[in-house]
Structure 1
Amino acid sequence: MSQFKNTGIAWIWIAILVFIFDQVTKIAVLQNFALYESVKITDFFNLIYVQNFGAAFSFLADHNGWQRWFFTAIAIFAVGLISYWLTKTEKNKLLLCIGFNLILGGALGNLYDRVAYGFVVDFLDFTIPLYGRWPAFNIADMGIVIGAGLILLDSFKNPENAEQDKKEQTAGK
């Protein structure tokens, strides 16, 4: 276990917090909202309970159920891959470690929903000026998007990481 304290696994508490916060909020929605019930918070933000049987933006949601297992398999693969990357990422690469852990927590949150309910619980509903309504999403989705943004930011701030990764991949062939 001591070999992990110097890797991105040391930041696993972030993934755990994202997962817990995601599940607590989803349970609150499941216990307090009827399907499609909406509560207006502001002119541009509502809480709404929707079931997403697909992926982002309800991609493939209208199919006959096979997508549940397809997206479950993708999530399991992503969790495994990100966990592996965390064991290979140095703890001091802050943006990468936080980004990977945010994505991991989000992936686990949505994976749990798919296995437990057969769909992902979405409840955050925003209206964007000049665009209209954004598809409903949840805390897990926020973790995934923010995590991906941090990883992208790291690639711009620390291009030497990308170069080092390329060298290591080339040396391994």
Structure 2
Amino acid sequence: MRLMFLFSMIAFLADQASKYWVVHVMEIWKRPDMLPVIPPVLNFSYGENRGINFGLFASDNDVMRWVLIGLAVVICVAVVFWMRKRRQPLIVHASAGFLIGGALGNVVDRMWYGYVLDFLNTSCCGWVNPTVYNVADVFIVVGALGMIFFANEGKDDPKKGRKKGA
């Protein structure tokens, strides 16, 4: 569990530090166009996401903001309880931590700003991606994939006479 909390703190702090640097120090919000970082693949472009991924369910309604905050917190709590009840490899603890830290990074944005600060844009070879995302989103995706691919669900542990991870 300590490993999960360590990785959640790493993800949370990396997300918040990157957002602070790009949005408040670099003031990317003042730029009308994209700022090439690793042209043409990675660009910075300011975005305010009031919905979930790709702006789905976006709304200026304050109720939706709090619904999304509540949903993220419930998911984080569910992951913690799921991890407590199962014996999992270290990579799953790290993955769960990434997912939780990323989700809480976006929760803090919603609480402070009313939306999630996004600034990463990946485009390539003449195709310009219209969406932006942030470091928290990367941690959420990596964490979820790690939990899906490396969890020990359903594998028997013959030494204990029960399912491994239970």
TM interval, short-chain normalised: 0.7 to 0.9
> Are residues 108 and 40 of structure 1, via their aligned partners in 2, closer, same or farther at CA, if it must alter by over 3 Å?
same
The 10-residue stretch of structure 1 (28-37 or 112-121) with the greater mean CA deviation from structure 2: 28-37
Q: Which amino acid aligns with 1:119?
A: Y
C-alpha separation in 1, matches of 2:127 and 2:59: 24
Structure 1 residue 151 displacement after superposition: 1.5
The match for 2:149 is 153
8 Å CA contact 1:126, 1:134 repeated in 2: no
Q: CA deviation at 1:28?
A: 1.2
CA–CA distance in 2 between the matches of 1:24 and 1:61?
Answer: 25
How far did 1:53 drift? 0.7
Name the CA distance, whole Å, in 1 between partners of 2:133 and 2:84: 29
* Match for residue 109 of structure 1 among 98, 105, 110: 105
Instruction: Indicate how the Cα distance of structure 1 residues 119 and 147 shifts in structure 2: closer, same or farther if over 3 A, else same.
Output: same
Q: Give the whole-Å Cα distance in 2 for the aligned partners of 1:132 and 1:39.
A: 13
RMSD, matched Cα: 2.4
| 8 Å Cα contact 1:9/1:86 also seen in 2 | no
Q: Which moved more, 1:34-43 or 1:48-57?
A: 34-43
Within a 5 Å distance, the mapping from 1:115-130 to structure 2 comes to 115-129=111-125
Unaligned runs of 5+ in 2: 157-161
Identity between Structure 1 and Structure 2 (%): 27
CA contact (8 A) 1:35 1:49 kept: yes
Of residues 135, 138, 157, the one that matches 1:139 is 135
Structure 1 residues 34, 142: CA separation in 2 closer, same or farther (over 3 Å shift)?
Answer: closer
Query: Do the aligned partners of residues 29 and 44 (structure 1) sit closer, same or farther apart at CA in structure 2, a change above 3 Å counting?
Result: same
How many matched pairs? 155
1:1-173 matches, cutoff 5 A: 8-31=1-24, 32-35=26-29, 37=31, 38-41=34-37, 42-90=39-87, 93-129=89-125, 132-133=128-129, 135-155=131-151, 161-164=152-155
Whole-angstrom distance in 2 between the partners of 1:134 and 1:13: 34
Q: Distance in 2 between matches of 1:29 and 1:138?
A: 10
Amino acid at match of 2:85: K
**CA deviation vs aligned residue, 1:98-120 (integer Å, no higher than 9, x gap):** 11111011011001111111100
Q: Secondary structure at the match of 1:60?
A: coil
TM-score of the pair, normalised by structure 1: 0.78
Q: 1:14 to 1:44 in 2, by over 3 A?
A: same
* TM-score, length of structure 2 as denominator length: 0.81
1:3 paired residue number: none
| Higher helix fraction (1 or 2) | 1
